[in-house]
Amino acid sequence: MAKIIYTHTDEAPLLATYSFLPIVQAYAGKAGVDIETRDISLSGRILAQFGLVDDALAELGDLAKTPEANIIKLPNVSASVPQLKAAVKELQEQGFELPDYPENPQSDEDKATRAKYGKAMGSAVNPVLREGNSDRRAPLSVKNYAKTHPHRMGKWSPDSKTNVATMGKDDFRSNEQSVVIPSDDTLTIKHVATDGTETVLKDGLKVLAGEVVDGTFMDVAALRRFLTEQIARAKADDVLFSVHLKATMMKVSDPIIFGHVVQAFFPTLFEQYGEQLAAAGISPNDGLGGLLGAVAALPEGDAIKAAVTAGLADGPAMAMVDSDKGITNLHVPSDVIIDASMPAMIRGGGHMWGPDGNEADTLAVIPDSSYAGVYQATIDDCRTHGALDPSTMGSVPNVGLMAQAAEEYGSHDKTFEAPSAGTIQVVNSAGEVLISHDVQPGDIWRACQTKDAPIRDWVKLAVTRARASSTPAVFWLDETRAHDANLIAKVNEYLPEHDTDGLTIEIMAPAAATTYSLERIRKGEDTISVTGNVLRDYNTDLFPILELGTSAKMLSVVPLMNGGGLFETGAGGSAPKHVQQLVKENYLRWDSLGEFFALVPSLELYAEQAGTPGAKVLADALDRATGTFLNEDKSPTRKLGGIDNRGSHFYLALYWAQELAAQTEDADLAAAFKPLADKLAADEKTIVDELIAVQGSPADIGGYYRPDDAKADAVMRPSATLNAALASLA
């Protein structure tokens, strides 16, 4: 039977779900629409690994490969090691029998435990559910809203010293080799040491005809030299030092790179105490936060802490995540995530927060040069022309190649630290070496795959979007990069399969495409960015954050390749700082527009899947209600005393009920919603007062990673009047 799956995730979106889902289920129930939840939160994933709950993620992964799929996917935590450990601790305290995270697994049992935790960690959800390519854009109503209610933009000075630092050689981009596989095959990745000893790193790697396979590596000696230089440069230029990685989604390579940054920033600390830290299982990859916490138990603990303090005083001022609490850019690998951190910095006039609590220019270190140029081009543009103007600027929607774990974001199981000097090779079943790199110990080598069918589908989606919105489309591909050169050949092969008459479709390298799109955006013109998976991630935060202030207001649709739909809510993450605010003062700033937008196409799809016309009536009414919601400006106010997330849900419920009562397509539905619409309108003041009355004092939700349902429900549904009105629908 058809159903909509609404995912139960983490942090702010989960809290919002406690308030919003009861409304959705009450309304949907009236139209015969079945909505169920599945728990794909970090805590749910951990428990599933140990057989303590059903594996909902695996179930949804299978579902996403079928035409029956209709999934609303809210953002979820992609956990770093420190987050994973915190979640395990919380679950243990809640009484779940879970083993500790093995720091330094030696026994087979510990290795198996570590592997299970590895599966729950990092970006564990998205690659499994994303069985289609990505279509992310600002709906017209949102773009118009942003133009009439422009958000605050920081001022850009022509003297800004903010810049990006990137390696440009000896990195993943420069070392990349790429091949197109001629026929279905099985590959092996192996390491051949200088003495000839062969170690299989991965075998049984199935590939299909037409698939693009890349191999590349980061030269770690060059990385360390580069980092040392940039630390000196930031100090010499008197700017903040910051590093921007994606340690969550690139869950194997980027924590290692992060660890090299920590070591480069504190060279004497690691010279003096590196061995003791390693022996105690304390890894720089987990950041300063974990290190400072763990060293307390060591005899050298105080000396190590003093060395950290000295290192911070010695080096350039470090960009801060929270200067009040002393949390630096290097404390937690998942605190500064490039897709959100770079746009926020650019939106703020090229500033990050310094240790003194003041904003300052920064050197943004992005070691690999594959995509760093996009940010440098944006910074250069703002330095020359000043901040962008949200009240006039155009838009850059994105069509992203994402299906079947395309490109770098599918590299986790094919990323290795070279065990010793030698070569790492990709070999086909006939024994031919397809890719080969000379490596030194510690070099970070990775392979990734991009299947042909998703590429074909992506080209089609690009043409479809260009046609539907009469907007030029640019493929952000660089002919001088190995992988991109293979993609360009395929794009040129597949474009003629479509009617492109009258459309503008171009191919440009990422930095040039950035400049081109920014030139157009400043004239109020739109340009679709058609990108690979990583730039999909980066661009769908970069442009929305500049255009709309946040990526929360984005429509994010994944038409699944086998039919069915995955509807993501917004393009951002799970906003951890919003949870802290809720717990501290019972105020939730989360903006659920992304959820509202996702629900419309999901209901439309349900109408088709289930043959339930009422679902389409619900969708149309919701679409109009969302328009009113924007016109009436009912998003959370961001200030205590105004409506927050819960208040905005009430207004959506009111407008949606009014639209349902007013429509004439389905008289039964109109009749069913008329009393509710009247009641909600009559009780508006009472309900808003009840919702606002709870603000200002701490809230107890009974857990961070696994809130207590009853407690979270009580906190997120504090209006007895609203609750009773909703119950009256049943």
Q: Which of 364, 571, 652, 677 binds ligand AKG (CB under 6 A)?
A: 571
Smallest separation, CB 573 to ligand NDP (Å): 2
Part in contact with ligand NDP (CB under 6 A); list of ranges 30-38, 73-81, 271-279, 303-311: 73-81
Residues 118-137 within binding reach of ligand AKG (CB under 6 A): 123, 126
572 is an interface residue for ligand NDP by CB under 6 A:
yes
One of 15, 340, 579, 687 touching ligand NDP (CB under 6 A):
340
Query: For ligand NDP, how many residues bind (rule: CB under 6 A)?
Result: 23
Q: Is 7 in the site for ligand AKG (CB under 6 A)?
A: no
Binding to ligand AKG (CB under 6 A) within 615-674 occurs at: none
Sign of the dihedral defined by the CA atoms of residues 97, 74, 707, 251, in that order: positive
Give SS3 for 637: coil
577, interface contact from ligand AKG, Mg ion, ligand NDP, none, CB < 5-8 Å by kind? ligand NDP
Neighbours of 160 (CB within 10 A): 17
Q: Which positions lie near Mg ion, rule CB under 5 A?
A: 339, 537
Number of shown-chain residues binding ligand AKG (CB under 6 A): 9
What is the per-residue DSSP string for 420-458? SSEEEEEE-TTS-EEEEEEE-TT-EEEEEEE-HHHHHHH
**Tokens linked to 141:** 């109503």
Partner whose binding site includes residue 113, from Mg ion, ligand AKG, ligand NDP, none (CB under 5 to 8 Å by kind):
none
Distance, CA of 378 to CA of 485 (rounded, Å): 24
Q: Does 132 bind ligand NDP (CB under 6 A)?
A: no
Among ligand AKG, ligand NDP, Mg ion, none, what does residue 215 contact (CB within 5–8 Å per kind)? none
Task: Please say which residue, 532 or 570, places its beta carbon nearer to ligand NDP.
Answer: 570
Provide the minimum distance between the beta carbon of 400 and Mg ion in the complex, in angstroms, as a whole number: 10
Q: Which two tokens stand for residue 65?
A: 């490969």
Tell me how far apart the alpha carbons of residues 411 and 417 are, in angstroms, rounded to a whole number: 13
Does position 564 interact with ligand NDP (CB under 6 A)? The reply is: no
For Mg ion, the closer of residues 219 and 407 by Cβ is: 407
How far is it, in rounded angstroms, from Cα 6 to Cα 479? 41
Residues of this chain, 27-86, that bind ligand AKG according to CB under 6 A? 78
Task: Provide the 8-state DSSP code for 241.
Answer: E
DSSP H or E run through 668: helix 667-682
Q: Does 287 bind ligand NDP (CB under 6 A)?
A: no
Q: Which does 155 bind (CB under 5 to 8 A by kind): Mg ion, ligand AKG, ligand NDP, none?
A: none
SS3 content of the chain, % helix, strand, coil (to 5): 50, 15, 35
Q: Kindly state the smallest distance separating residue 335's Cβ from ligand NDP, in Å.
A: 7
Q: Residue 101 gets which letter from DSSP?
A: P
Pairing mode, if any, of strands 444-450 and 415-417?
antiparallel
Footprint of ligand AKG on 338-367 (CB under 6 A): 339
To 10 degrees, what angle do helices 301-314 and 267-279 make? 150
Q: Residue 550 binds what, of Mg ion, ligand NDP, ligand AKG, none (CB under 5 to 8 Å, by partner type)?
A: ligand NDP
Pick from 133, 162, 248, 450 the residue near ligand AKG by CB under 6 A. Answer: 248
- 99 touches ligand NDP (CB under 6 A): no
Our finding on whether 569 is near ligand AKG (CB under 6 A) is no
Residue 415 CA to residue 423 CA, distance in Å, equals 14
DSSP 134-199: EEEE--HHHHHHHHHSPPP-PPPPTT---EEE---SSSTTTT-EEEE-SS-EEEEEEEEETTS-EE
Q: CB nearer to Mg ion: give 176 or 537.
A: 537
Stretch in the footprint of ligand NDP (CB under 6 A) among 29-37, 195-203, 468-476, 572-580: 572-580
Our CB check for ligand NDP shows the closer of 352 and 477 to be 352
Q: Of the two residues 126 and 569, which places its CB atom closer to ligand AKG in the complex? A: 126
Bridge partners of 179, per DSSP, are: 213
What does 590 bind: ligand NDP, Mg ion, ligand AKG, none (CB cut-off 5 to 8 Å by kind)? ligand NDP
Backbone phi, then psi, for 4, in 5-degree steps? -100, 130
Which residues from 517-546 bind ligand AKG, rule CB under 6 A? 537, 540
Cα dist. 533→14, 119, 215, 507, 544 in Å? 26, 21, 16, 16, 17
Using CB atoms within 10 Å of the CB of residue 67, give its burial: 0 to 12 exposed, 13 to 18 middle, 19+ buried: exposed
Q: Which lies closer to ligand NDP via its Cβ, residue 316 or residue 350?
A: 350
- What part of residues 289-318 is at the interface with ligand NDP (CB under 6 A)? none
User: CA of 238: how far to CAs of 162, 241, 315, 353, 361, in Å?
Assistant: 10, 9, 10, 14, 9
CB of 604 to ligand NDP, least distance (A): 22
Continuous segment of H or E residues that includes residue 417? strand 415-417
398 binds ligand NDP (CB under 6 A): no
Q: Determine, following the binding rule CB under 6 A, whether residue 589 of this chain makes contact with ligand NDP.
A: yes
β partners of residue 38: 7
Which residues are at the interface with ligand NDP (CB under 6 A)? 75-78, 126, 248, 334, 337, 340, 344, 550, 552, 570, 572-577, 589-591, 594
Point out which residues bind ligand AKG (CB under 6 A): 78, 123, 126, 248-249, 339, 537, 540, 571
